[in-house]
Structure 1
Amino acid sequence: MSGKSGHRAWGHIKKQRTKTASYQASFIGPDQRRHYAPHTFSARMNAEAWLVREKDLIESATRTGERWKPPSERVQERKAEVLLFGTYGKKVIDQRKLSPRTRIEYEAKWSALIEPTFGKVPVADMTPTAVRGWFSGLDQTKERRNSHAYGVLNMICNTAVKDGLLERNPCMITGAMNTKAKENVKIPTTAELHAIADKLGASENQGRFKALVVLAGWCGLRYGEVSELRRKDITPDCSVVTITRAVGHRGGECILGPTKTGETRSVTIPPHIRQDVKDHLASYVGKDSDALLFTPSRGGCHLNDRVFNKDVFQKAAKAVGREDLSAHDLRRFAGSKNAQVATLTENMARLGHKAVKASLLYQHSQSGRDAEIAADLSTQALRELGV
């Protein structure tokens, strides 16, 4: 009997004789009666998952001494108490293990874009048609935001399938979580980047931002990483910057944590900007090892990204004829310049992209290539600057 199709160590799965794939799952409960899933499953793996959850419930009841409830009884209880998607979705986000910054992003997308539409809809009534209607009604000019919101909804619906509340995930829009790369993005040239930095450096009030521009531009730091840099993160000879942390601000709250990928990286600073970093440390940074490299002029814990971009960077960029730039283009500049002198793996390592495998990162850090890349960047920059 043990070799017969459909028989397992625990529970039973039977493939139904239907045109489309359909599987019925059942098991013998503690009451020695056979209990069936409240619905059939379109995939065998979903039937397997249901049986695993049922076995866990039985074992939990045995450990705690609580009365075990058959699946049919629990279904009736759920019908008597309709579970709304608003209640369920919030609970899923609350229980999910997320970094503080990611949690704030999830909650923001939930409260602004998902809950207003689906909050009062029963979980069981979530359908592909409803999801398509919701997604098509979002502001199409905000593609990246919409993609993130769809990702949150997809995560919640996947959890509902695992919990046995939905037979299948209603999020079926192809490509909804993949945003298209922007076309014709114009990154600054080397001369323009240094012109912006020099413009800031010549200002009595904004001179401390010159080093921020060249560090972010030539080392590829994210804004949350560069604004959290401290004296201890720069080697005494200003040849290497180590990125271990990042900061963000949402709803007036300062969120300090690991980098976006959760990994630490050390990036060799190109020789042609090391003097700028040394001058900055001498003129603007406290002697304590924890002193921030870049402090806000109006108080607060860190430089505000929106304020820096609008009131500092974009004004300087406009002054050199590049009003189309934003502070985020500093990272694009880094990626573009790295690509001219480094391999894809080396470029991704400098930028801190998680796709780079740990073994490749180790080889990269031990081979000395990062120092060579930094030197090549300086050689190229000096040539482009006509120095």
Structure 2
Amino acid sequence: MHEKLTELKSRSNQGIPAADKNWLLGEYLDYWLMEVIKPNKKPTTYDLYESNVRRYLKPDIGHLPLIRLSVPTLQRYLNQQLANGQSVRKVQTLREVVSSALTRAMREEVISRNVAKLVEVRDVQNRATIIRPWTPEEARQFLEAALGHQWFPAFLISVLYGLRRGEVLGLRWSDIDFVNMELHIEQQVFRAGGEVRIGPVKTRAGERDLPLLEVIGQLLMRWAKQYGSPTNGLAFTTSTGQPIEPQNYTRAFQRLCAKYQIRRIRLHDLRHGVATLLKDLGVPDKDVQLIMGHSNISITQKIYQHDTMESRRVALDQVGEALLSANVMKRIASADGNTKEHDRHGCRQDCRQTHDTPSLVDQFNSSPEGKNKPATGIPVAGWLNEFLGDLTGNRTRIARMKTRSNTSFGGVQQRVPEVDASLLARRRAWLIGVVAVSAAVKDTRGEETGLAA
């Protein structure tokens, strides 16, 4: 009791009024869902939050006092959910629900901090979950398989435009402008509260106008004459004229893939495929964003656009075209067995000869002068490294020229002795310089020691 009074006094001194009720977490979540989420959020958002509260949060930690909910308690709970086999995304959703509720509780001055913002959930991506959209060939196979299906026009729009499932099912005849050849995306069909509903699109950016492809326009005109009026009602309905259950549309898509043995993907992955194909075709990212109906271009780039083996192949082919000259390509194409042997072992005869010869650095390190070389950090060290690099490069080039006596470089062979003599003179001068520098450094250090003494 004393500790509780002390805490209440401390909160009062901080200007935090005492809560008028000792909430349990489960009680507050119920209040938050009914009074905050349901009146102000979309039905689909309410359904998502309510499901997670009812199935996970209330049964597991709903009995805890709201004011006593701590970071360690919530961290252990989320870790246990991961250990029980829940996906990282599911655990992230649980944290988001709790965090949203606790943020509201802070505004109502029921609690002083949001502990959900302080817990951590590991963010890992399983390679098995990496999205691999259909290639254009796979998309063509699906459209051919779906030709005889009653919802073929809807599938065609999903594949070509990458519309969200609800946006396709929510198209009205009034949204299809056959005169100006435009498609207006304004509403969607979705399931919420146990029933199929029609409402506005996901975001304001989702309200968009798209050009109506001629092939789509011709198909929809025939569809309108057969199934509905071009001015009233939904373009795609059940046989009784009701909105299509979104999940039934997904099941029909998956059944077609299974029947015709087309690589299975999610229906939503068609959006990823369109965004990726537009990227590969060189369409500017801003145009792709508007076509997809994304509120932020980063969503388009980071989530919906994927690299493909073909795009990587094209990119590296362009690198090769830029860097490989016609002469190099000709030499590679006409390579003999010796070159193939080089490719296999990673070294030609000339570079093997060079590798067998100790470098000037190794020779110097093993010499008496090298054992007494100046310590690293003396200003001359950088110049010596650069000088060694020049000598090593020249020696390698000379060795290569020696091995080409039966090629068109025969004239160079006559100059090899001259260059060797020049290199020998430079090496001698270099060794003398190193010895002089070493002696100078020793003298300088001796003087400094004497001064210090």
TM-score class, shorter-chain normalisation, is 0.5 to 0.7
Query: Whole-Å Cα distance in 2 between the matches of residues 188 and 239 of structure 1?
Result: 28
| Shift in Å, 1:122 | 0.9
Query: Whole-Å Cα distance in 1 between the matches of residues 296 and 241 of structure 2?
Result: 34
Paired residue for 2:133? 187
Change in 2 beyond 3 A, CA 1:197/1:280: farther
Is contact 2:182–2:212 with CA below 8 Å preserved after alignment?
A: yes
Query: Whole-Å Cα distance in 1 between the matches of residues 278 and 13 of structure 2?
Result: 55
Is contact 1:219–1:269 with CA below 8 Å preserved after alignment?
A: no
Paired residue for 1:196? 142
Is contact 2:91–2:121 with CA below 8 Å preserved after alignment?
A: no
| Shift in Å, 1:355 | 1.6
Identity of aligned residues (%): 20
1:331 aligns with 2:271: yes
How many aligned positions are there? 281
Query: Whole-Å Cα distance in 2 between the matches of residues 209 and 179 of structure 1?
Result: 38
Change in 2 beyond 3 A, CA 1:338/1:230: same
1:283 match: secondary structure: helix
Equivalent residue in structure 1 for 2:172, among 227, 230, 242: 230
Change in 2 beyond 3 A, CA 1:106/1:325: same
Is contact 2:224–2:230 with CA below 8 Å preserved after alignment?
A: no
| Shift in Å, 1:179 | 7.8
**What does 1:338-357 align with in structure 2 at a 5 Å threshold?**
338-340=278-280, 341-355=282-296
Query: Comparing both chains, which one has the higher relative contact order based on Cα–Cα distances under 8 Å and sequence gaps of 6 or more?
Result: 1
**What does 1:183-332 align with in structure 2 at a 5 Å threshold?**
184-202=130-148, 206=149, 208-237=150-179, 239-263=181-205, 264-284=207-227, 286-287=228-229, 289-297=231-239, 299=240, 301-310=242-251, 312-332=252-272
Query: Whole-Å Cα distance in 2 between the matches of residues 280 and 181 of structure 1?
Result: 43
Paired residue for 1:30? none
**What does 1:67-146 align with in structure 2 at a 5 Å threshold?**
71=17, 74=18, 78=20, 81-96=21-36, 97-138=40-81, 140-146=85-91
| Shift in Å, 1:288 | 5.2
Query: Whole-Å Cα distance in 1 between the matches of residues 286 and 124 of structure 2?
Result: 23
Structure 2, gaps ≥5 residues long? 1-8, 299-453
Paired amino acid for 1:350? I
Is contact 1:315–1:323 with CA below 8 Å preserved after alignment?
A: no
Q: Going by fraction, where is helix more abundant, 1 or 2?
A: 2
Paired residue for 1:38? 12
| Shift in Å, 1:323 | 4.2
| Shift in Å, 1:95 | 2.5
Change in 2 beyond 3 A, CA 1:185/1:325: same
Is contact 1:295–1:302 with CA below 8 Å preserved after alignment?
A: yes
Query: Whole-Å Cα distance in 1 between the matches of residues 111 and 32 of structure 2?
Result: 14
2:12 match: secondary structure: coil
| Shift in Å, 1:192 | 2.3
| Shift in Å, 1:170 | 1.2
Query: Whole-Å Cα distance in 2 between the matches of residues 253 and 194 of structure 1?
Result: 34
What's the RMSD between the two structures over aligned residues?
2.8
1:153 aligns with 2:98: yes
Paired amino acid for 2:290? A
Change in 2 beyond 3 A, CA 1:350/1:181: farther
What TM-score results when the alignment is normalised by the length of structure 1?
0.65
Change in 2 beyond 3 A, CA 1:194/1:225: same
Q: Deviations over 1:54-82 (max 9, x none)?
A: xxxxxxxxxxxxxxxxx4xx55xx4xx52
Paired residue for 2:430? none
Change in 2 beyond 3 A, CA 1:147/1:239: farther
Structure 1, gaps ≥5 residues long? 1-34, 41-46, 51-70, 358-387
Change in 2 beyond 3 A, CA 1:175/1:300: farther
Q: Deviations over 1:290-346 (max 9, x none)?
A: 32121124x473222222222x21121223432422322221222112222322222
What TM-score results when the alignment is normalised by the length of structure 2?
0.56
Change in 2 beyond 3 A, CA 1:295/1:239: same
Paired amino acid for 1:221? L
Paired amino acid for 2:156? V
| Shift in Å, 1:251 | 4.5
Q: Deviations over 1:100-140 (max 9, x none)?
A: 22222221222122222222211111111221122223354
Paired amino acid for 2:289? M
Is contact 2:190–2:196 with CA below 8 Å preserved after alignment?
A: yes
Rg bigger for which structure?
2
Paired amino acid for 2:50? E
Query: Whole-Å Cα distance in 2 between the matches of residues 179 and 257 of structure 1?
Result: 35
Paired amino acid for 2:238? P
Is contact 1:147–1:179 with CA below 8 Å preserved after alignment?
A: no
Query: Whole-Å Cα distance in 2 between the matches of residues 278 and 337 of structure 1?
Result: 27
